[in-house]
Structures are given as C-alpha cells and as structure tokens.
Amino acid sequence: MAVPKSKITRMKRGFRRSSDALKAPAYVEDKESGELRRPHHIDLKTGMYRGRQVLEPKDSV
C-alpha cells in the first residue's frame, strides 16, 4: 500500500489546488469588427488573426 513519506504542508497543498479555482474566460473587443473574442484566438466571423487573413470569412446565413 502506498504511504506518503512525509506530511504535505498546507502551503504545498494550496499550491497544488490553486489551479482548481474556476475563472471566467477573458474576452477582448476586436479592433476592426468590435466583436468580442478570446485573446490569441482567430476571429471566426472575419477570419482575421493579428491583422492577417488566416481563414475564409464565415458567410452569414
């Protein structure tokens, strides 16, 4: 049976659990279109990323 060699301190336990907290996803306003998008992600409506055309624009139906 696995037995820990030493006691895990509250500080180390807190470090491990610090990433468990839920955070709201960040959104930024796009400079060209004014739409909200995730930072460092492609704007799916226009297909632009950092001022370059990466994808074909999505046609609105």
Lookup: tokens for 31: 């400079």
- pTM exceeding the 0.85 threshold for the entire prediction: no
State residue 35's pLDDT score: 85
How much is the pLDDT for 61?
Answer: 53
Residues 6+ apart with CB under 8 A from 58: 44, 45, 47
Whole-number pLDDT of residue 24: 87
- Mean pLDDT, the chain, as a whole number? 87
Indicate the helix (H) or strand (E) that contains 23: none
Where along the chain do its domains lie?
A: 23-55
pLDDT band, residue 19 (cuts 50/70/90): confident
Residue with tokens 């955070």: 23
Greater confidence (33 vs 55) lies with 55
CA 17 to the chain's CA centroid = 19
CA angle 38, 39, 43 (to 5 degrees): 60
